[in-house]
Amino acid sequence: MIIGGLLLWPLAQVAWMSLHDLGLRQLRGDQPWPWAGADNYLEILGDPFFRTVLRNTVLFAAANVLLTMVLGTLVGLLLNRLGRRMATVVASAVLLAWATPAITGAIVWKWLFDDTSGLVTWLFNALPDGLSRALFGHADWTGYGWFNSPLTFFTILTLVVVWHSFPFVAVSVLAGLKSVPAELLEAARVDGAGPWRTFWQITFPLLRPVFGILVVLSTIWDFKVFTQQFVLAGGTQDRSTYMLAIYSYAVAFSPPPKYGLGSAIAVILTLILLAVTAVYVRMVLRQEEGA
Amino acid sequence: MRRRWWSRAAANAAGVLVALFAVFPVFWMVSTSLKPNREIFSATPQPVPHHPTLQHYRDVLGGDLLPGVGFGSFFRNSAIVAVATVLAGSLVALLAATAVARYRFRFRTAFLVMLLVVQMVPLEALVIPLFLMIRRLGLYDTLASLILVYLAFSLPFAVWMLRGFVAAVPRDLEEAAEMDGASRWQTFWRVLLPLVAPGLVATSIFSFITAWNELIFALTFLSDEGKYTLPVAMTFFFGRDDTAWGAVMAASTLLTLPVMVFFLVVQRRMVSGLVSGAVKG
């Protein structure tokens, strides 16, 4: 009941709200909500800025899922190969990154990229001037606005998010690898298959369900990144780096509040994720039946 | 033999690199928090503090994090919200999980599917309606509003995981207890509860972490600085222009510590819960 009341009802309500023109006045009293029909959606879908935001979100999610999966899988395979002691050390290290709350993780990365005393700024300053100039066109990085241009901003955000999410993939893949019969891999090796072929022909097909679920979960998580972005951008002022979650939040809560319009954006985000979720639920149910 | 040695060394080297990448930011956070300002803002950064100091911790714990409000207040708010979420969540989740695992009822499958789907609903999309709802209930700017919402978020996962634990308890045990004259309540309390305790611990920690880390709802539902939870306070604290990185890192370390401890306890369960059924074994 609680779950239904607190999650399904708001879900219905956000859809209902998205069809109204809601501002501060509606929030205060018992004033009727002015009906807006599809106006909010028309306004958003017709807005070129929304299309930019949507493109940013999709590109960001795609890049992050891909990087997280590749890095996570590689680390998972690595953990499976390492000796017992080494594997424990690496796994603990990886878990530490995972355990870090999103907010402190983002704050630390922001400090690393601080434009005066940050370690990364120092590293780039330490590059030979000629090399730095040839690569980036300037040699002095002090005061460089790491978070001002969308390109560097999204690169750093990607770094932060991948750093935070690859451990989960690595640990899950490792758990899956433990279930692959050693004889199968041995047989493949005897038959002369290299690591590349062994992975694609044996490991990957066996672990396909694991990979499927990991991809779906990562997609969902990366689509709605909020905390890290909020921290790195220092709030919601910088429109050039908006993605759907933060866009919806900013429209609804920065003055003047437009709850209806924000809801419409939230509905669009939800629909995208529900589509991905449908895939996830089908996978899990199929496995429950198969098990 | 030679080739094996090489590939082994390469794997170890890669392992070291991965470990460094994973640990470094955390290490840097702690290291910075222990450095005097002179070293934090020096022209050549040092990995380890030369003159370690607890000054920043003293500043954070002794002074005001935000004007007029100290660290302790935020820490306490976070703790209240997280502990309340865990206590209420465990109780409800355990009852619900028992119901789902033990009794067949109408809409049981629908309920299970809903649990899965609900986990995937982007919470970020529910901020607006929940904000209005909380206002209408008169809970705006109260910690209770957060407890209520976090409860709803952590329950689906908790029920889903506990279901597995309850299902793993052999039915015969309960039947035996009932034969011996135990009431339903006694069976639940004396037989089932001790056996699912590990699962309960795991889900509790998961709920705790969810509640402890959450930012967006706390940011939206609270307006009085005295009610802020730690993550909200952090965004304001370090959002100022002249960031005192030493103090920020000290506060971040303190925020991270409880989560780290709990997380290391729970991680095993979490993985197997999330990837449940994916691996047949």
Whether the ipTM is more than 0.95: the answer is: no
Spans of all domains in chain B: 2-53, 67-274
- The Cα–Cα gap between A228 and B150 comes to 19
Token reading at B239:
């959002």
Nearest to B250 by CA among B94, B28, B14, B29: B29
Q: What's the domain count of chain A?
A: 1
Give A272 to chain B, closest Cα distance, Å: 10
Do A90 and B152 make contact, defined as CB atoms within 8 angstroms?
Answer: no
**Mean pLDDT of the residues in chain A:** 84
Token reading at A36:
């807006």
Residue A85 forms part of a structural domain: yes
Predicted confidence (pLDDT) per residue in B29-71, tens digit: 999 999 998 888 887 888 889 999 999 999 888 877 787 888 8
- The Cα–Cα gap between B115 and A127 comes to 52
A96-104: average pLDDT: 90
CB A105 within 8 A of CB A164: yes
Residue given tokens 């807005």 in the structure block: A47
CB A76 within 8 A of CB A177: yes
Please name the CATH architecture into which domain B67-274 falls.
Answer: Orthogonal Bundle (1.10)
Nearest to A107 by CA among B72, B244, B146, B145: B244
Domain that holds residue A198: 20-290
Q: Which of A94, A101, A207 is the closest to B18 by Cβ?
A: A94
Residue A4 forms part of a structural domain: no
B99-128: average pLDDT: 76
The pLDDT value recorded for residue A3 is: 55
Residue A46 forms part of a structural domain: yes
Alpha-carbon Rg of chain A, whole angstroms?
23
Residue A38 forms part of a structural domain: yes
Residue A6 forms part of a structural domain: no
Q: Which of A175, A259, A274 is the closest to B279 by Cβ?
A: A175
Please name every residue paired with A35 in a beta bridge, in sequence order, or none if there are none.
A20
Nearest CA in chain B to A84: B12
Q: Which residue has the higher pLDDT, A156 or A135?
A: A156
Token reading at A203:
């490991």
Start-to-end CA span in chain B (Å) = 33
- The Cα–Cα gap between B232 and B69 comes to 13
- The Cα–Cα gap between B55 and B51 comes to 11
- The Cα–Cα gap between B231 and B233 comes to 5
At residue A82 the predicted structure's pLDDT band, cuts being 50, 70 and 90, is confident
CB hemisphere CA count around A230 (13 angstroms)? 25
Q: What is the CATH number of the domain that holds A165?
A: 1.10.3720.10
DSSP output for B74-103: HHHHHHHHHHHHHHHHHHHHHHHHHHHHH-
The pLDDT value recorded for residue A35 is: 73
Q: Which residues of B touch A78 (CB under 8 A)?
A: 11, 14-15, 18
At residue B171 the predicted structure's pLDDT band, cuts being 50, 70 and 90, is confident
Do A90 and B23 make contact, defined as CB atoms within 8 angstroms?
Answer: no
CB B124 within 8 A of CB B186: no
- Weakest mean pLDDT among A74-78, B76-80, B177-181, B208-212: B177-181
Predicted confidence (pLDDT) per residue in A164-215, tens digit: 999 989 988 888 888 788 888 888 888 888 888 888 888 888 888 788 888 8
* Cα three-residue angle A29-A33-A37, rounded to 5 degrees: 165
Do B41 and A27 make contact, defined as CB atoms within 8 angstroms?
Answer: no
- Weakest mean pLDDT among B12-21, B146-155, B158-167: B158-167
Res. B100: pLDDT tops 60: yes
Token reading at B97:
């999980």
Q: Peptide bond before A256: cis, by omega within 30 degrees of 0?
A: yes
Do B121 and A273 make contact, defined as CB atoms within 8 angstroms?
Answer: yes
